[in-house]
Structure 1
Amino acid sequence: MQEETRWHAKTMSETVIADFVARFSLDTAEDPEPVRGRIVLSQKRLVLATGGSKTTIPLAAVFDVSVGHVPDELESFFNDTLTVAYERDHGRHTAVIEAGTEEVGQFKTLLFKAMLSGTPVRVKHPARVGGRVTDGEFEAGKIRIQPGRVEFCGVSEPFEVELSAVTYFQKQRREVGGDERTVVAIRHASEGQTVTSEFAVASKHKLNLLGRYFRLEYSEVAKEAERVDTSEREMEALVAIYSGASSGNLAGALGIDAGSAAMLLSDLEEKDLVDDDGERLSLSPAGKMLVSDRIEKVNT
Structure 2
Amino acid sequence: MSETVVADFIGRFFAPGIAGEPPTGRVLLSRRRLVLAGDDYKETIPLSAVFDVKVGQVPPEMEGYFNDTVTVAYRRDDGRAVAAIEGKDTNIDRFATVLFKVLLNGTKALTRHPAKVGGRVVDSETHTARLDVTRGSLAFDDRPDPFSVELTRVVSVERADRDLGNGSHPVISFRHVEDGTAVTTQVGMTSNRLTNILGRYVRLRYADVREELEDVDLGEEETEVLVAAYSAGPGVSLAKVVDIDPQRLTMLLNGLIDEGLLVDTDEGTQLTAKGRVIVDQRIESVNT
Residue of structure 2 in register with 1:5 after alignment: none
Find the aligned partners of 2:19 and 2:147 in 1 and give their Cα distance.
47
Residue of structure 2 in register with 1:292 after alignment: 280
Q: Work out whether residues 153 and 280 of structure 2, in 8 Å CA contact, stay in contact via their aligned partners in 1.
A: no
Residue of structure 2 in register with 1:65 after alignment: 53
Q: Work out whether residues 105 and 133 of structure 2, in 8 Å CA contact, stay in contact via their aligned partners in 1.
A: yes
- CA RMSD, aligned part only? 2.8
User: Structure 1, residues 84-125: CA drift from partner, whole Å, max 9, x if none?
Assistant: 233443344232131350x33432233222212222211122
Matches within 5 A, 1:91-102: 91-99=80-88, 101=90
SS at match of 2:21: coil
Structure 2: runs of 5 or more not aligned: none
Q: Report percent identity of matched pairs.
A: 40
Residue of structure 2 in register with 1:144 after alignment: 132
Residue from 235, 238, 248 that aligns with 1:250? 238
SS at match of 1:70: coil
TM-score by length of 1: 0.82
Residue of structure 1 in register with 2:38 after alignment: 50
User: Structure 1, residues 160-206: CA drift from partner, whole Å, max 9, x if none?
Assistant: 22333323222244331162333222233446755332211131111
Q: Which runs of at least 4 in structure 1 moved beyond 6 Å after TM superposition? A: none
Q: Work out whether residues 114 and 122 of structure 2, in 8 Å CA contact, stay in contact via their aligned partners in 1.
A: yes
TM-score by length of 2: 0.85
Residue of structure 2 in register with 1:127 after alignment: 115
Which residue type is aligned with residue 93 of structure 1? V
Find the aligned partners of 1:58 and 1:152 in 2 and give their Cα distance.
26
Structure 1: runs of 5 or more not aligned: 1-10
SS at match of 1:254: coil
Find the aligned partners of 2:127 and 2:97 in 1 and give their Cα distance.
26
SS at match of 2:281: helix
Residue of structure 2 in register with 1:223 after alignment: 211
Which residue type is aligned with residue 291 of structure 1? V
Deviation at 1:24, TM superposition (A): 1.8
Residue of structure 1 in register with 2:148 after alignment: 160
Find the aligned partners of 2:245 and 2:205 in 1 and give their Cα distance.
37
CA separation of 1:144/1:93 partners in 2, compared to 1, >3 Å: closer, same or farther? Answer: same
Q: Which moved more, 1:153-162 or 1:83-92?
A: 83-92
SS at match of 1:243: helix
Residue from 21, 30, 48 that aligns with 1:32? 21
Find the aligned partners of 1:281 and 1:136 in 2 and give their Cα distance.
37
CA separation of 1:53/1:67 partners in 2, compared to 1, >3 Å: closer, same or farther? Answer: same
Find the aligned partners of 1:163 and 1:170 in 2 and give their Cα distance.
14
Find the aligned partners of 1:73 and 1:277 in 2 and give their Cα distance.
50
Matches within 5 A, 1:174-253: 174-177=162-165, 179-190=167-178, 194-245=182-233, 249-253=237-241
Deviation at 1:210, TM superposition (A): 0.7
CA separation of 1:172/1:109 partners in 2, compared to 1, >3 Å: closer, same or farther? Answer: same
Which residue type is aligned with residue 286 of structure 2? V
Q: Work out whether residues 11 and 24 of structure 2, in 8 Å CA contact, stay in contact via their aligned partners in 1.
A: yes
Residue of structure 2 in register with 1:117 after alignment: 105
CA separation of 1:131/1:234 partners in 2, compared to 1, >3 Å: closer, same or farther? Answer: farther
